[in-house]
């Protein structure tokens, strides 16, 4: 009886806490998997979880905290533990910025990838550093070992729109070109990035507020087209096989 009371209090506490819940169905090659992601903001930080149940299942539980410096900056950091197919796993991360410097870093391990919620395999990590040289110019460094292995440097200039030029290495050298700017009166944004050479990928995002559209095209051939209409997310594409992913998000209060 005591346990039921405790469970009741925990459920009530989480319901009253600020939170989000995202439930979805992922289908690939005739098999379906359920995906569930949730996060609850509590006084010391956020508790979040991810769960994918299907032919291969995996779940993660994470804790994150943050430091807000008003208009000066923001830093979030946390730890995630995983269990499921292939055994245990985990990840540590920190991301944010203060003044002229922005950082995003994560390091983790899992023995087996499970698309779409756990896409990396083995030891994976990412380090992104960006520094604002002068108000309108930003230089960046990116090191990544995940779905691809790459190193990249970039320079971005903001003149109304932001133009990015960079170079990277992923087996072979590649070129980075980017354009990001406002396309409407209400700060709607179009974001385009093209990588050619050792990595071949076009990424496009159109953000309209109530709706957002995403497109990625890669060679060797892979691609996806996604849309978020308010709280409903629809995505379809090809990644080793055709797939589709439908999600719905709740946020409260």
Partner 1 sequence: MEKPWGILLLALGLALAQSVSEILDRVERNLQDPWQAVVQGQIQGPGGQEELKARVLAIPKENLFRIEFQKPGSLEGNFTVITEKEVWNYLYLTNQLIVSPKEKAQVQGLGFSPQGLGDLKGLSERVSLRLVGEERLPEGVAWKLVGRAQEGQGFATLELYILKNDPRPVRFVFRDEAGKVMADLRVVEFKKASLRPQDLKRYPKDAQVVRR
Question: Of 190 and 225, which CB lies nearer to partner 1 in the complex structure?
Answer: 190
Give which of 125, 119, 118 is closest to 95, Cα–Cα.
Answer: 125
* Least gap, CB of 180 to partner 1 (angstroms): 8
Token pair, residue 180, equals 């990001």
In this chain, which of 69, 81, 123, 149 binds partner 1, going by CB under 8 A? Answer: 69
Residues counted in the chain: 253
Our finding on whether 134 is near partner 1 (CB under 8 A) is: yes
Here's the x/- map for partner 1, 166-205, by CB under 8 A: it reads as ----------------x---xxxx-x-------------x
| Tokens, residue 145 | 């070992």
Which residue, 76 or 222, has its beta carbon nearer to partner 1? 76
DSSP string, 176-191: EEEEEEE-STT--EEE
Determine the straight-line distance between the first and last CA of the chain, rounded to whole angstroms. Answer: 30
DSSP code per residue over 103-115: EEEEEEEESS-BT
250 binding partner 1? (CB under 8 A): no
42 binds partner 1 (CB under 8 A): no
Six-digit token string for 114: 């499970």
From the list 1-9, 62-70, 113-121, 146-154, the region that binds partner 1 by CB under 8 A is 62-70
For residues 95 and 4, what is the distance between their CA atoms, to the nearest angstrom?
38
User: Which residues make up the interface to partner 1 (CB under 8 A)?
Assistant: 18, 41, 66, 68-74, 76, 95-102, 130, 132, 134-136, 138, 158, 182, 186-189, 191, 205, 207-209, 212
């Amino acid at each position: 009886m005591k346990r039921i009371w405790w469970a009741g209090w925990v459920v009530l506490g989480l319901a009253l806490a600020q939170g989000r819940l995202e439930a979805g169905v992922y289908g690939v090659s005739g098999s379906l998997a359920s995906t569930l992601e949730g996060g609850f903001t509590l006084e010391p930080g956020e508790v979040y979880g991810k769960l994918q149940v299907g032919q291969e299942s995996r779940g993660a539980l994470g804790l994150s905290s943050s430091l807000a410096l008003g208009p000066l900056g923001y830093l979030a950091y946390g730890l995630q533990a995983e269990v499921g197919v292939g055994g245990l796993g985990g990840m540590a991360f920190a991301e944010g910025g203060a003044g002229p410097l922005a950082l995003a870093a994560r390091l983790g391990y899992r023995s087996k990838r499970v698309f779409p919620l756990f896409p990396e395999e083995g030891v994976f990590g990412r380090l992104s550093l960006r520094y604002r040289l002068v108000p309108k110019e930003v230089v960046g460094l990116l090191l990544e070992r995940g779905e691809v292995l790459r190193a990249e440097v970039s320079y971005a200039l903001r003149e109304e729109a932001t133009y990015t030029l960079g170079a990277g290495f992923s087996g072979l050298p590649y070129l980075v070109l980017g354009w990001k700017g406002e396309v409407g009166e209400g700060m709607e944004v179009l974001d385009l990035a093209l990588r050619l050479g050792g990595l071949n990928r076009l990424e496009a995002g159109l953000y309209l507020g109530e709706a957002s559209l995403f497109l990625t095209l890669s060679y060797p051939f892979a691609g996806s087209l996604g849309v978020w209409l308010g709280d409903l997310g629809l995505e379809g594409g090809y990644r080793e096989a055709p797939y589709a992913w439908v999600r719905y998000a709740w946020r409260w209060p």
